[in-house]
Amino acid sequence: MYETSRRNGASARVLFVDDSRLMRFAAKRFLCQHFDVVAAQDGQQAWKLLQQDDSIKVVITDLMMPEVDGIELIRRIREAEHGRIRALPVLVVTSVEEKAGRRRALDVGANDLVPKPFSGSDLVEPVQAYLNLSVARPGSRSQPICLANIESTRNGLVHRLEQISSFHDRHGLEFSILHAQLDDYHAIASRHGLNWAESMMRHLERVLAREVRVEDTVGRSDDAVYSMILMATPAVGAKQLRARLREHLARNPACFPGRTMALNVSFSIQCPGAREGHSADATLKAGLARLAEPANVTRLVDRISA
């Protein structure tokens, strides 16, 4: 028997598939605040629901399940005769250790990956983004969603910094880099596992991406650090952003099933001078080095914990 959880006034139905009762309970708790939710215990049950219920708009599935696993469920969806089923966005809940499974899921047609353990925003935000996209482009196959101001790789961040440095040098403009370090990253990874540390970083990335302007860039520059390249922004503007981030992080801890975790974040502000002659990679490394320095009177304003 499948499980449902309906929110009055909600129109979009989301299917969550997992053989763990705890994960189904947690997912429904987060999702039912925004959507109608139906939960299935395995891929076989989910596949029957998809054929019977044409109100399902998004599928979220685990990989490791009895009967029909997540990989086979995704394959059936992408090879379905009905175009409605083939076009459904499919999100996969997976841990960072499941590298082979993550790759296979994407290869057979998954749209995106949701970290495990997941927070409420890990589920709600991508679902809402894919629903918005399906309204804008009805009937089209959903593609992975990336925010315009997120660089997914460090090399991409360095390349973007090269472009921005060159642009600001040519026009005689100032720009800043604001580095944000999750101070507890390695302690969390040691105490709770890498999955928890990565989920905390995902939460931090989302907060940063919401607060910066669309023309700015956010990228992961180190294991525990995100760097924000702020276009045409002097030091005073970077400090104002830092103040907003501190307030936002204090009000918005990461909420997981049965656990709420505050983010302890240190900041460092860097204002590269025009025509310093340094490479973008060297500039980035110099900014990260400041985070490793002990706080003192002259640097205290750059190293305030959120």
Is the distance from CB of 21 to CB of 47 less than 8 angstroms?
no
What radius of gyration do the chain's Cα atoms show?
Answer: 21
Tokens of 122: 């890990």
Distance between CA atoms of residues 248 and 262, nearest Å? 11
C-alpha pair distances (Å), 150 with each of 192, 205, 237, 294: 27, 9, 20, 29
Q: What is the pLDDT of residue 118?
A: 86
Distance between CA atoms of residues 156 and 221, nearest Å? 10
Instruction: Tell me the CATH class for 3-136.
Output: alpha beta
Listed in order, the ranges of the chain carrying CATH 3.30.70.270 are: 150-302
Q: What is the pLDDT of residue 305?
A: 37
C-alpha pair distances (Å), 42 with each of 10, 90, 118: 25, 15, 19
Q: What is the pLDDT of residue 277?
A: 63
Which parts of the chain register pLDDT below 70?
Answer: 1-10, 96-97, 134-148, 274-277, 294-306
- Which residue has 């991409």 as its token pair? 156
DSSP characters for 213-260?
Answer: -TTSEEEEEETTEEEEEETT--HHHHHHHHHHHHHHHHH--EEETTEE
Q: What is the pLDDT of residue 8?
A: 45
144-172 tens-digit pLDDT: 555 557 888 899 999 999 999 988 888 88
Distance between CA atoms of residues 205 and 149, nearest Å? 11
Q: Which CATH architecture has domain 150-302?
A: 2-Layer Sandwich (3.30)
Q: What is the pLDDT of residue 300?
A: 35
Q: What is the pLDDT of residue 6?
A: 56
Q: What is the pLDDT of residue 148?
A: 54
